[in-house]
A and B are shown apart, each in its own frame.
Chain A
Amino acid sequence: MKFTNDSLKIDAAGTVEGIQAEIRHQIGRVLKKSGAVVGISGGIDSSVCAALCARALGPNRVVGVMMPETDSSPESERLARELGETFGFETVKEDISGGLAGLGCYERRDEAIRMVFPDYGDGWKNKITIPTNILEKETFNYFNLTVENPKGEVFTERMPLKAYLQVVAASNLKQRLRMTTLYYHAEKRNHAVVGTGNKDEHMQGFFVKYGDGGADLKPIAHLFKIQVFQVAEAIGVPADIIKRTPTTDTYSFEVTQEEFFFGLDFHTMDMLWYAMENEIPPAEAAEVLGLKVEQVEKGYANIKRKIVATEYLRMAPLEMDLIK
């Protein structure tokens, strides 16, 4: 197979038709539901999913649910509404801040942050990031906590395990409460919940189990991120959404998906991953991508490690095989 910089170009029109036909089949025939409920964040993945559903099923069978909370960017709601207007489907807003407060989300998160920064409190912002030099060094992932105080001073420390686990567990309440909310809206309408993860997220484990990972179907989980952009352009997703930098929209200090999880820009990662999947020799991939061979090898290794390490997220519940 010849590997080129165009290897991830898709027949966008054909891909769109294929996904839309499969949405109709999965929702109508397999799940026997009457429409789709999609959590829309103003990001490209949820926008593409909602738009494909509206085109496949008709806009009156699609509901886009916006679920902002205390740390959400206001831009998310604005863009989500613009998407709904563009494709003609109903949008519903559910502010989940109260629910999250009731679950102790913010309190538990802040308690964990204070294990690292004892002065953290009202008016402070926080984010978690990983090293972004994964092509340069073979390093284990570790997690930095960055905070900004009300004076705008920024501090960063590596997170000890206990603090990291508690911040993530508390923050994951957001995705899990969103899943709960989506199923309420879906079940009252006999609709299916549409998951919005792309291949990068699905296979590298950038989702919360039974949070944003909890859904009835996942129409773009087979598409690389850069292919999602191609679909978005083909179906007319608003330009503001297409050009928005993918963020987690989870932490009060804005953090890109590259900083938080992937450690690489999407183009490089997707091309490396495609090359790895198709067993392109590192030297050949390096020449096409303008990288050193060692960088390609590190990239391949990093992606493989993430896929293996996050297998448990994609597993169905384990059952006992004790009765012979």
Chain B
Amino acid sequence: MATIDLDTAREELKAFIVEAFLFGDESEAFTGSDSFMGKGIIDSTGVLELISFLEQNYGITVKDEEMVPANLDSIDNLVEYIRRKAG
């Protein structure tokens, strides 16, 4: 598996969130540590869409028990999760 550049992944994830859930409106700013659920950006259906994006773009399989906010609920958490999964 090709090594994942985490800085690139961070930008890709931000772009995905803006496009998929904010209709491309970058004026709705969110920081790396902002909770998606807390800010109302993503709901439970949106989480499935996010997981689909992770699995298709980073070659990882998200297990049921890994579907927790600590892994998925902010850009920072996502980047750290990808880092651990991709080894």
Contact = CB atoms under 8 A, between A and B. Distances in A.
B3 interface: no
Nearest to A301: B37
Contact of B69 (A138, A143, A158, A309): A138
Interface stretch (B5-13, B25-33, B45-53, B79-87): B45-53
B19 interface: no
B52 A142 contact: no
Contact of B68 (A139, A164, A165): A139
Given A140-B72, A305-B37, A308-B40, A161 B45 contact: yes
A138 B40 CA distance: 17
Contacts of A138: 68-69
A160 interface: yes
Interface in A126-176: 131, 137-143, 158, 160-161, 164-165
B57 interface: no
B43 A309 contact: yes
Given A138-B69, A140-B72, A142-B64, A164 B48 contact: yes
Given A137-B68, A138-B68, A165 B45 contact: yes
Contact of B44 (A137, A141, A158): A141
Interface string B54-78: 0000000000110111001000000
A138 B45 CA distance: 16
A142 B45 contact: no
A191 to B, nearest CB: 36
26 contacts: A131-B64, A137-B65, A137-B68, A138-B69, A139-B65, A139-B68, A140-B44, A140-B47, A140-B67, A140-B69, A141-B44, A141-B47, A142-B48, A142-B64, A143-B48, A158-B64, A160-B52, A161-B48, A161-B51, A161-B52, A164-B45, A164-B48, A165-B45, A305-B37, A308-B40, A309-B43
